[in-house]
Amino acid sequence: MTVEISRAEGIATVTLNRPERKNALSLEMFEALTEAGEALSRDSAIRAVILTGAGDSFCAGLDLNAMQSLATGLDEIRVQLMTPVKNGANWFQRPCRVWQELNVPVIAAIEGHCLGAGLQLALAADFRFAAPSASFSVMEAKWGLIPDMGITTNLPKLMRADQAKELMMTARILQAPQAAELGLVTRLADDPCAAATALARELQQKSPQAIAGAKSLVEKTWAAEVPEALKLEADLQKNILGQPNQIEAVMANMQKRAPKFR
């Protein structure tokens, strides 16, 4: 399988599994990533998701064979680009957007190449832990294109507009420390998967409603008008406040014990 899902103790690990191609995305993988995200959205036992790549790279971008096959059906592609599939996202955007729609945190563990479509996938995660030797690029300008897998829904939350335009227009490759300085990387880690797992375990100790609410708050208000943002804050808090898991969070802190959420 080109995309594999494993589950252990409430954490799902989604692995791009084409190491011989540095996990470059085939057209089949677009479907597989969307299906993986939608399947996990229906799994109430999952409290966090880790996105990673098999072998020595996260994802080197769109597979060249896929790019060549797309070139023979441009009219069909234009239709797909204009046709929303779900929640406003088209077929090309769904493999990224699906991770932003999950109620649980998604953590990308990145080694090696994280380029083009691979970077857009990583940006769809809530957190990105990268090995210091990893490399990043908004690569689409190299092919005369713009990034079109939902980058507009996450990059504005991470960096200034002029910095984003420079990366999009130049397609220059950044090393992980540079990417971290610009906000593309959450944290550098010698072992990104271990760091991602540690964060997932930490977040499991918090109320799932509070975690989902925090994710929704940022996703929906970071660039929202003030009245809309304030209303969402109030609405989210109203649905969390006084619920069993919120009360358990208070009691566990007061009693200096580990919480037991449900």
| Percent of the chain residues topping a pLDDT of 90 | 73
- Give the C-alpha separation, 24 to 94, whole Å: 17
Q: What is the pLDDT of residues 148-172, one digit of tens each?
A: 898 988 898 999 999 999 999 999 9
Quick check: do 3-203 and 206-254 share a fold? Answer: no
pLDDT the model gives residue 261: 94
Judge whether residue 231 has pLDDT over 90: no
pLDDT the model gives residue 71: 65
Mean pLDDT of the chain: 93
Strands 11-16 and 3-8: antiparallel
- Give the C-alpha separation, 251 to 16, whole Å: 41
pLDDT the model gives residue 223: 74
pLDDT band of residue 63 (cuts 50, 70, 90) is very high
DSSP E strands in the chain: the ranges are: 3-8, 11-16, 48-53, 106-110, 113-115, 127-130, 135-137, 174-175, 187-188
pLDDT band of residue 219 (cuts 50, 70, 90) is confident
Q: What is the pLDDT of residues 233-242, one digit of tens each?
A: 788 898 898 8
- Domain residue extents for the chain: 3-203, 206-254
* Mean pLDDT across 32-47: 98
User: Hey, what CATH class is 206-254 in?
Assistant: mainly alpha
pLDDT the model gives residue 85: 87
Q: What is the pLDDT of residues 71-87, one digit of tens each?
A: 677 777 777 777 888 88
* Mean pLDDT across 31-50: 97
Sheet holding 11-16, edge to edge: 3-8, 11-16, 48-53, 106-110, 127-130, 187-188
* Mean pLDDT across 18-30: 96
User: Hey, what CATH class is 3-203 in?
Assistant: alpha beta
Q: Please give the DSSP secondary-structure letter assigned to residue 133.
A: T
* Mean pLDDT across 203-225: 91
pLDDT band of residue 88 (cuts 50, 70, 90) is confident
Please count the other Cβ atoms lying within 10 Å of the Cβ belonging to residue 12.
24
